[in-house]
Copies of this chain bind each other. A is one copy, B any other.
Amino acid sequence: MNPAPYAYLRGDFVPLDQAFLHVSDLAIQRGYGIFDFLKVQDGHPLFLDYYLDRFYQSAELMELAVPLPRPELEAVLRQLIGRNNLPLSGIKLLLTGGYSSSGYEPPAQANLIITQQPIALPTPEQLARGLRIISHEYVREFPAAKTINYSMGIRLLKRLQALGADEVLYHQQGSVTEFPRANFFIVRPDDTVVTPAANVLGGITRRNILGLSGRPYRIEEGPVTLHDVRQAKEAFLTSTTKLVMPVVQLDDHVIGSGQPGRVTLDLLHALTQLEQQQLTQSYA
């Protein structure tokens, strides 16, 4: 077995298996904290600026102060990546409410923890099979912030398992928003690609897709209803680790042909190219 990778914990590098927080931390006491998660390939953190923008933004929205200014945080990340030397990994930046003597009022100092662990990309079999999803009415409390509150998503895992479904798609009165840990897109009958605009986390993969140019179809943000999903030709999920994953069924309704669609696969290809460009630029 490999030794545990290093983590950064409140100012120090420690082996991950020795990374502990005191129970007075507000994440443990009150579920209070924010985080972010980015992918590292061959030593290069992909789209780092976007992830750090979002991390500082989430912290600000939840009134937490990141204890490191951005250049220092970047330096810590590069040190960690150098120490751990993992070929393909995810880095989690976690900022908790900190050690609170009252167990409720946030202290001046938030706790910053950074962990890095190997990740696996979706397999060709998973891509070919696509995802079956169910809908559930729920809106996250602070949709613009990447908080650590996943109570609803975790609480629904057993229902997913019982139904043989892969993911749950949140909606509010039929207006679709996002997955617990991913964004959602559909391809309308006229080939327009659209992702919900309101009450969603600004995913970086979502952002990268919206930023693509020169495709033979439009890509935009806008309202998406459950009805729209049932009428869609294709649908897919986007996330940092899953990139672009076809969605082939919503509740009892098969979407389009029930197979990964042409536009979905074209966008997956475009995203993969974009990641390769990032890597090439990093080496240049």
Interface residues of A (CB under 8 A from B): 7, 9, 16-17, 19-23, 25-33, 62-63, 92, 94, 96-97, 103-106, 113, 115, 138, 141-142, 147-155, 157-158, 181
CB contact between A23 and one of B21, B26, B152 (< 8 Å): that residue: B21
Does B115 lie within 8 Å of A30, measured CB to CB? no
Instruction: List, in ascending order, chain B residues with CB within 8 A of A157's CB.
Output: 105-106
> Of B20, B21, B97, B150, which contacts A154 at CB under 8 A?
B97
Known contacts: A106-B157, A151-B142. The answer to whether A94 contacts B32 by CB under 8 A is no
- Residues of B with C-beta under 8 A to A9: 23
When chains A and B are docked, how far (Å) is the Cα of A237 from the Cα of B63?
Answer: 27
A150 to B96, CA, bound (A): 13
Residues from chain B with Cβ under 8 Å of A158 in the complex: 63
Residue of B with least CB distance to A113: B23
Residues of B within 8 A of A27 (CB): 27-28, 31
A30 and B154 within 8 A (CB):
yes
B104 near A150: Cβ-Cβ < 8 Å: yes
Interface of A is mostly: mixed
User: In the assembled complex, which residues on chain B have CB atoms less than 8 Å from the CB atom of A154?
Assistant: 26, 30, 32, 97, 104-106
* A23, closest chain B residue (CB): B19
Contacts of A142 in B (CB 8 A): 151, 155
Bound Cα distance from A33 to B31, whole angstroms: 8
A31 to chain B: which residues have CB within 8 Å? 27, 31-33, 147-151
Residues of B close to A7: CB separation below 8 A: 23
In whole angstroms, what is the CA distance A33 to B33 when docked? 14
Q: Which of B28, B92, B155 is in CB contact (< 8 Å) with A96?
A: B28
Most chain B CB within 10 A, of A21, A26, A92, is at A21
In the complex where A23-B9, A106-B157 touch, is A141 in contact with B150 (Cβ < 8 A)? no
Closest B residue, CB atoms, query A26:
B154
Residue from B19, B62, B92, B150 in contact with A22 in the complex, judged by beta carbons closer than 8 Å: B19
Central interface residue in A16, A62, A155, by most chain B CB within 10 Å:
A155
Q: Identify the closest chain B residue to A27 (Cβ).
A: B28
Residues of B within 8 A of A148 (CB): 28-31
Taking the nearest CB of chain B, how far is it from the CB of A118, in angstroms? 12
Q: How far is the CA of A27 from the CA of B26 in the complex (A)?
A: 10
The 7 closest A-B pairs by CB, nearest first: A31-B31, A20-B20, A30-B150, A31-B149, A31-B148, A19-B23, A27-B28
Closest to A157 in B: B105
A23 lies within 8 A of B63 (CB): no
Among B33, B63, B155, point to the contact of A63 (Cβ < 8 A): B155
Docked CA distance A148–B104 (Å):
11
